[in-house]
Structure 1
Amino acid sequence: MPRKTPNRRRLFAGLATLIIVLVIVGGFALSGLADFDLEGRATRLVEFDDHGNRLSGTLILPDGAAANTAPIVLLIHGDGPQDRFSHDGYLPLINSLLDGGIGVYSWDKAGIGNSTGNWLDQSMNDRANEAMAAFAALRNLDGNQNRKIGFLGFSQAGWVIPDIANRLPDAAFHILVGAAVNWQRQGTYYMRTRLEALGTRPDEIAMRIETAHNMDNRIFGPDSTYQDYLAIPHNQEVMAQDRYEFVKRNIGSDATGSLETLTSPLLALWGEDDLNVDPAHNAAIYRKLALPNNPLNRVIVVPDATHGLLRSQLFNYQLADQMPDIVKLAFVVMGRHAYAPGAIDHIITWIKQVTQIP
């Protein structure tokens, strides 16, 4: 019997994925579309200043009487040029939080949407300072002086929120999704999973990772310049200078020191099938360093979930723009149901427990 070629295996795998997507799309029958709509929600423009930048965001509160006392979550973006709703990708999560009686505030990154500046000019410490300025802006709104306000951040926020938690005792809680811990180790994991997906041999993966480490030391060292970076041979897209400077500024980021001293309530979640950060390794660090610091702390690895806690069977891609159009359509149709079972419930239930709302 002839063996299936790799191309045929990929074709069969693609067809199987397409069939699964179509079945789910039909089953949900457009019910998730409402999760991308904020019409009828109580929204308010909230702008604030930080280090010469004017940041613009939207505060959304739950319906009815709950709006007056609801806790508020400030969303902290991961990497990339994200607007306040992450190109609408946050909306199913936001609507889920609102339905759970929890308000949400999110703002455009510096230089994105209606915010001034350039987010690539920031260090992780700068991002923490900006988030604390957002917190202060919300606290100063009428009726918010005693409201429970906390943070929910993604991926790169793993270097932002632990810093905030150690410097802002007034924050009621902190939540991290797919948190990175060490910049260079995350880069290694990301590169390894990408090469494995391409079918690269283990010995070649090891060689390419070692080469990348040596190159990083050369081009992102304290005395290195953008001209040094441009002078090396490139087999992939060349970084713009502001991106180069951003990486150089932040490549030494490591959250372990902040995690050891973090005492305010913390919920940390990873998807079991995360392709961007190592979920088992990072969860183990959080269990060791942060979990004992507060009885409310929780560390959860969600089964069958991606970097962003979506269902990994359908949505496990390192970058959103790698998703085929049919998969993007499935996300729009499914809305909050695109998340792995229980993922959003973990977040809502824990916030209610910490803030003591019914």
Structure 2
Amino acid sequence: MDLNLFSKALLWLLLVTLPETAFSQSADFTIKDVKFESQGITLAGSVLTPKKPVAAVVIVHGSDPVKRELEFAKRLAKEGIAVLTYDKRGVGESVGVYVGPSVGTNNIDAANLDLLAQDASAAVSVLRTNLKDKKIPIGLAGFSQAGWIIPIAAGKNPLIAFMVLFSCPTITTLEQLRFQFYTNGNNSFWENHTDEDAREHTKNDPDRYQFAATDPKISLNTLSIPGLWLYGEKDIQIPVKLCIEQLNTLKAKGKPFEYTLFPALGHNTSSETIIEPVAISIQWIKQKALEIKKVKVSQ
């Protein structure tokens, strides 16, 4: 028998019969599926572990019914950042009920945001158990709606050492809705409106819904961990310049918060085709992880 031909046939057979997870491994990192409990339900996710992790991150979802963010997680893992990414509650393999506009429910009321923050906090604790080196700093990285969730979670769990927020609001939930209703999804909104105009409507438009607003500044005022916000100036989901103004107020109080503004981008600052914001966030995470480790050593 032609051994070379036999080897090729065997390789082909393995490729078509082995489970997909066996080929989610990389020379740079491994992937392990996990399940964990949070507030009475089971969440399902994946832990990506580099050979020599320098930092670790739990990915926090935006408002959509999102499964685990594996592609984004792989971008981080290839750079030496361990990641836990999970299916949002009620989505994919995670149990529970998804809440959001697509199913006719309010996903930014205080109760739901707190629930999602509990999920993120539980994920941090699970990620830590999967790290051999327990001294590796763990942070949260999230998108859009995560701007309300991450500060709440960081206030609940002392393991959270830093946060990275892509297109995340620093204004209240009701203010964000006013702005979103005003832009009405118009991609050319900023061609015909000024920042002053947008601020006026964000601050003063009547609310279409009545519920208790969540103000992320309440949580941010209690935090001393470093944070990085990444914004697209053409965002029509959140009023970026107003959010930056709020950050500057917090920075003036000594909060270790930073931001980067990308003039050509909109709300999407983290897709596979948009490289710079993610690259900046990776370098920032590595830098902060190193600084955090040095502080712990000196203590």
TM-score by length of 1: 0.62
Residue in structure 2 matched with residue 33 of structure 1 by the alignment: none
Task: Find the residue that maps to 2:168 and give its secondary structure.
Answer: coil
**Secondary structure at the residue paired with 2:123?**
helix
Map 1:214-225 onto structure 2 (within 5 A). Answer: 214=206, 216=208, 220-221=209-210
SS in 1 for 2:221: helix
Establish whether residue 78 from structure 1 lines up as the match of residue 57 from structure 2.
Answer: no
Say whether 1:117 aligns with 2:51: no
Q: 1:268 to 1:292 in 2, by over 3 A?
A: farther
Cα distance in structure 2, aligned partners of 1:77 and 1:307? 14
Question: Does structure 1 retain, via aligned residues, the 8 Å contact 2:44–2:86?
Answer: yes
Give the letter aligned to residue 132 of structure 1: S
**Map 1:311-350 → 2, pairs under 5 A:** 336=272, 338-339=273-274, 342-350=276-284
Instruction: Give, in angstroms, the shift of residue 194 of structure 1.
Output: 2.4
Which of structures 1 and 2 has the larger relative contact order (alpha carbons within 8 angstroms, sep 6+)?
Answer: 1
- CA–CA distance in structure 1, aligned partners of residues 165 and 56 of structure 2: 15
- CA displacement, residues 216-249 of structure 1 (integer Å, 9 cap, x when unaligned): 2xxx44xxxxxxxxxxxxxxxxxxxxxxxxxx5x
**Residue 194 in structure 1 maps to residue 184 in structure 2:** yes
Q: State the one-letter code of the partner of 1:253.
A: T
CA contact (8 A) 1:283 1:300 kept: no
Q: How many residues end up aligned between the 2 structures?
A: 250
What 5-or-longer segments of structure 2 have no aligned partner? Answer: 1-22, 100-106, 292-299
- RMSD of equivalent CA atoms: 3.1
The code of the aligned residue for 1:258 comes to: S
2:114 aligned counterpart, secondary structure: helix
Alignment match of 1:276 (pick from 218, 224, 237): 237
More strand by share: 2
Q: Distance in 2 between matches of 1:197 and 1:107?
A: 31
Q: How many angstroms does 1:306 deviate by?
A: 2.1
Q: Counterpart of 2:11?
A: none
The answer on whether the counterparts of 1:111 and 1:119 sit within 8 Å (CA) in structure 2 is: yes
Give the secondary-structure state (helix, strand or coil) at the position aligned to 2:184: helix
Secondary structure of the residue aligned to 2:125 is helix
> Is this contact kept in 2: 1:55–1:109, CA < 8 A?
yes
Report the TM-score, using the length of structure 2 for normalisation.
0.74
Q: For 2:173 and 2:287, how far apart are their aligned partners in 1? A: 32
Q: Which residue of 295, 308, 314 maps to 2:268?
A: 308
Indicate which of 61, 79, 82 corresponds to 1:100: 79
**Distance change (3 Å), C-alpha of 1:125 and 1:259:** same
Q: Once superposed, which parts of structure 1, at least 4 consecutive aligned residues long, lie more than 4 Å away?
A: 195-199, 212-215
Give secondary structure in 1 for the equivalent of 2:96: coil
Q: Quick check: 1:61 aligned with 2:40?
A: no
8 Å contact from structure 1 (residues 46, 56) kept in 2: yes
Change in 2 beyond 3 A, CA 1:300/1:39: same
Letter in 2 for 1:303: P
Contact map agreement 1:157 1:179 (CA 8 A) in 2? yes
**Residue 166 (structure 1) shift:** 2.4
Q: 1:97 Cα shift?
A: 1.5
C-alpha displacement of 1:184 = 1.6
Q: Does 1:267 align with 2:228?
A: yes
133-142 or 190-199, which deviates more: 190-199
SS of equivalent to 1:115: coil
Question: Compared with structure 1, are the counterparts of its residues 215 and 292 closer, same or farther at alpha carbon in structure 2 (3 Å cutoff)?
Answer: closer
* 1:118-267 superposed matches below 5 A: 118-120=97-99, 123-141=112-130, 143-180=132-169, 181-194=171-184, 196-197=186-187, 214=206, 216=208, 220-221=209-210, 248=211, 252-267=213-228
Q: Distance in 1 between matches of 2:246 and 2:151?
A: 13
Unaligned runs of at least 5 residues, structure 1? 1-36, 222-247, 311-330
CA–CA distance in 2 between the matches of 1:137 and 1:183? 29
Q: What one-letter code is carried by the residue in structure 1 that aligns with 2:223?
A: L
Residue 174 and residue 164 in structure 1: after superposition, are their counterparts in 2 closer, same or farther (change >3 A)?
same
